[in-house]
Chains A and B, each alone.
Chain A
Amino acid sequence: MAGKGGATPATYSPSLTTVKGKKKPPIFADDANWVRSDGRHFHECRPAFLRTNAVNSASGSAYAEFGNTKVIVSVFGPRESKKAMMYSDVGRLNCNVSYTTFATVHRNQGSDSKELSSMLYKALEGAIILESFPKTTVDVFALVLESGGSDLPVIISCASLALADAGILLYDLVAAVSVPRLQAPLSICLRHFFSVAFYLVLEEVFP
């Protein structure tokens, strides 16, 4: 890309993390009473802000803000499936997750995330009563405005709210949380268990 006349010139972000040779200080400590960088303990979640009816043009929508992670989800449908699709006597669910270019600290290309889209599909498909809208499709579109960590759980929670706002029949709302496991043994206690359906993301984290 660099060196091509007329094309977008190569640019770099002046932030200190792009400078080579600087090591990031470790954020994990061995102390069992260690407190995270924003003052939370192990089992505390960030305070949540959730609102439905964020987007007027959609059948249903929701906006979620968990700390610095901001997500908008719109639900369209049930609407006509694409003509190429075969007849189906249960409804179809179509999910798509994309990021804005300014969502991450360094500017990214802002493309769709196929991995998150399929994980969102897996999380929601069990909760929706697909038999209630045969032959049609429900589209769930998510846009991550700012990514402050733990994006997928926020997207899933926001998407269930948007589905409820759209009036799609659901067995239950889906709540999600992401639990990274450090090498030291930890006991995690999920205190706020407000629904039967939940989606747990377990990750191994190596400091």
Chain B
Amino acid sequence: MAAASGSDLSSEMEVDAFRRLFPLCFHERHLLKSIRPDGRTLGKARDTIISLGAVTSANGSALTKIGCTTMLAAIKLEVMTPTVESPDEGCIAIDFHMPPICSPIVRPGRPADAAPVVAKQLSDTILSSGMIDLKELSLVSGKAAWMAYLDIYCLDADGSLFDAALLSAVAAFSHLQIPVVSLNDEGRIVLVSEDNGGGKLEKEPVNKEKRKLKLATIPFSLTCVLHKNYILADPTAEEESIMETLVTVVLDSSSQLVSLYKPGGPVLAHTSAIQDCVALTRQRLKELQKILNEAISDMEVD
């Protein structure tokens, strides 16, 4: 009924008004022509930009933009005592924040519904993908290890929050440089500053030079939204709110499946729809690998 009344009025009212009053009808009109309101085809993701080293006070950082969705990830390293069960391993603490600046639905006292969901998804995906070997974060076996605090802030929320957040986390880890430290007389780990690097050191430095983490395999993701028989890749916030069925696929660098996430929704998907989503993710994986490698090589040139 809404569709019928929509089409009656569409010739009489402005496009913007029609878009606000009958959003589903507006989008379906576009889908019939295999296009979306911003001009993309159904399987195409938005322009993606990665910029490394955005935060100077952090050990590793990255700013990513997928369309208008902007995420800033920063890693700060602190020293902790490793647990008794794993004396050779460090730890990673992942936190995702949606500050009030990012979206009109977030208020200072009322955090967004999506924030803890994305935080948990991110934490599970990164830790289970095998990207980071925690043994690389060890300093002195049984006594000191690195605790990497990864904080991701959403600066602008326009759909596909998980994709942008995962990409920024991965980019921040590839930018991370572990500083040179040594163990001082009191048993504390201290940074070796450049001033007394040539002179006498209290103890032998624990690691000789600033090093980067070896990332075994890098996970990339794509979120798709399902509506009737259509699959739309990389939805905007408007599309996500109208067509509520989301499917997120995470693949690693060798196109193996790390995670598949479909949290309910009005559309029940056949196997063929899921396979299409995985195929779209495989294409996106190649694009993202290229963009990330370009960003890393740009940093190294500088």
Also in contact, A14 and B181, with CB within 8 A (given A98-B99, A102-B74): yes
Closest residue of chain A to B83, judged by CB? A9
Which residues does chain B contribute within 8 Å of A194, judged by CB atoms?
none
Report the Cα distance A73→B156, complex, angstroms: 11
Partner-binding segment picked from B35-43, B124-132, B186-194: B186-194
Q: Mark A153-194, 1 if CB is under 8 A from B, else 0.
A: 000000000000000000000000000000000000000000
The answer to whether A13 has its CB under 8 Å from any CB of chain B is yes
Name the contact of B151 in the complex, choosing from A11, A61, A102 (C-beta under 8 A).
A102
Interface residue total, chain A, C-beta cutoff 8 A:
39
Q: Mark A108-139, 1 if CB is under 8 A from B, else 0.
A: 00101000000000000000000000000001
Also in contact, A9 and B237, with CB within 8 A (given A57-B68, A58-B101): no
Which residues does chain B contribute within 8 Å of A102, judged by CB atoms?
55, 57-58, 61, 74, 76, 151
Closest residue of chain B to A13, judged by CB? B78
- Could you tell me if A12 and B76 are in contact, using CB atoms closer than 8 angstroms? no
- Could you tell me if A101 and B147 are in contact, using CB atoms closer than 8 angstroms? no
Which residues does chain B contribute within 8 Å of A68, judged by CB atoms?
56-57
- Could you tell me if B102 and A57 are in contact, using CB atoms closer than 8 angstroms? yes
Report the Cα distance A74→B155, complex, angstroms: 10
- Could you tell me if A19 and B158 are in contact, using CB atoms closer than 8 angstroms? no
Which residues of B are in contact with A by a Cβ distance under 8 Å? 55-58, 61, 68, 70, 72, 74, 76-81, 83, 91, 93, 95, 97, 99-104, 107-108, 147, 149, 151, 153, 155-158, 179, 181, 184, 188-191, 193, 237
- 21 A-B residue pairs with Cβ-Cβ distance under 8 Å, sorted by A, are A9-B83, A14-B190, A14-B191, A15-B190, A16-B190, A16-B191, A19-B190, A73-B101, A74-B101, A98-B100, A100-B153, A101-B149, A102-B55, A102-B58, A104-B57, A105-B57, A110-B97, A139-B100, A141-B100, A143-B155, A146-B55
Which residues of A are in contact with B by a Cβ distance under 8 Å? 8-16, 19, 54-58, 61, 68, 72-74, 76, 79, 96, 98, 100-105, 107, 110, 112, 139, 141-143, 145-146
